[in-house]
Amino acid sequence: MGNQLALRVFYIIGVVVLLIVLLMGGHYGNFLLSTILVYTLVGMSLRILIGFGGQISIGHAGFWAIGAYTSGLLVVKLGMPFVVGVFFGGIVAAVFGAFVALPALRVQGHYLAIATLAFALFVQQGLFEWESLTGGRHGLYVPRPEIAGILLKTDLVYNYFLLPLVILFGWITENFRKSHTGHALMALKMSSIAAQTAGINRTHHLFVAFMVSAFYTGVSGALYAHLIGYLSTETFTLGVSLSFLTMAVIGGLDSSLGPILGAVFLTLAPEVFRGLKSAQLVVYGVTLVLCMRFLPGGLASLANIIGSGLGTQKRQKT
């Protein structure tokens, strides 16, 4: 327990230091920070769905794309304010989340993974083909975010908006864990029969988990759209879904720090391993496998490994 606490403190200090470094790190540092914050929301989304709900999704690129395009189109075509676009990006994604919950009521594991995968492909192809609305192959230009007439011109200013928003979502995520639905999902994950005979409505709570998760990812996609400024269906490939999953697992699904740690990894790894070019994917793959094998609780659980390692050493000495 002591180790776990020490590690938490270490991570929190590390994350804060990193935030400050990136905030002062000029344009590029701020862009990286914005990216981290946007990914953190996806990490929280997967913490809710996989960590709390025990469900799997390799379709989150689909929700991300829906959020991004919804917000982009509302702002570009209807002239809606940026904040409204982001909110509806989440709402529309949540509606699709309800559809994706349908297969989860019947199937689990591999089959659910395939169903969610199909959803991501469907969304990507749909956006590509619907050229009159989304611009299809030409893509869609999205303006910089603007709040109450103030243009968030630089990523530095955007970060001042993103940071409190991500903290708010983090707080809501932890409330979700302690909520009625959070307890119900935990129960369903451990014994579906006992949970249901104790009056827990499986259908209801699975829908909630998928919809809330999709909402987070939709909001993240919308924020990403305004950060990048240009949307193309190339941005929302299956590879993105897999990166999200990798990020969530490496960060740790059982810890409130997991999402931010995973997001830092997903954002900074390409910077660190830039020299490897396309061999980068090998690094992700190997990291993921090592993580699943030796660190199933992700980076956030590193203390358990260190702790038990020290424990064995002590035992050997005596």
274 forms part of the interface with another protein (CB under 8 A) = no
Kindly tell me which residue out of 194, 282, 290, 305 binds another protein, with binding defined by CB under 8 A.
194
Nearest-angstrom CA–CA distance, 157 and 160: 5
190 forms part of the interface with another protein (CB under 8 A) = yes
Kindly tell me which residue out of 87, 96, 176, 236 binds another protein, with binding defined by CB under 8 A.
176
User: Closest separation between CB of residue 31 and another protein, Å?
Assistant: 31
Total of chain residues touching another protein, rule CB under 8 A: 25
180 forms part of the interface with another protein (CB under 8 A) = yes
Q: Residues 198-227 vs another protein: string with x where CB under 8 A? A: xxxxx-----x-------------------
197 versus 312: smaller Cβ distance to another protein: 197
Nearest one of 203, 208, 217 to 179, comparing CA atoms: 208
The window from 27-35, 97-105, 149-157, 171-179 that contacts another protein (CB under 8 A) reads 171-179
Kindly tell me which residue out of 71, 181, 233, 246 binds another protein, with binding defined by CB under 8 A.
181
50 forms part of the interface with another protein (CB under 8 A) = no
User: Can you give the chain as a three-state secondary structure string?
Assistant: CHHHHHHHHHHHHHHHHHHHHHHCCHHHHHHHHHHHHHHHHHHHHHHHHHHHCCCCCCCHHHHHHHHHHHHHHHHHHHCCCHHHHHHHHHHHHHHHHHHHHHHHHHCCHHHHHHHHHHHHHHHHHHHHHCHHHHCHHHCEECCCCEECCEECCCHHHHHHHHHHHHHHHHHHHHHHHHCHHHHHHHHHHHCHHHHHHCCCCHHHHHHHHHHHHHHHHHHHHHHHHHHHCEECHHHHCHHHHHHHHHHHHHHCCCCCCHHHHHHHHHHHHHHHCHHHHHHHHHHHHHHHHHHHHHCCCCHHHHHHHHHHHHHHHHHHHC
315 forms part of the interface with another protein (CB under 8 A) = no
39 versus 215: smaller Cβ distance to another protein: 215
The window from 17-25, 32-40, 107-115, 172-180 that contacts another protein (CB under 8 A) reads 172-180
44 forms part of the interface with another protein (CB under 8 A) = no
Kindly tell me which residue out of 109, 193, 277, 313 binds another protein, with binding defined by CB under 8 A.
193
175 forms part of the interface with another protein (CB under 8 A) = yes
137 versus 180: smaller Cβ distance to another protein: 180
172 forms part of the interface with another protein (CB under 8 A) = yes
Contact residues for another protein, defined by CB under 8 A: 172, 175-176, 178-184, 186-187, 190-191, 193-202, 208
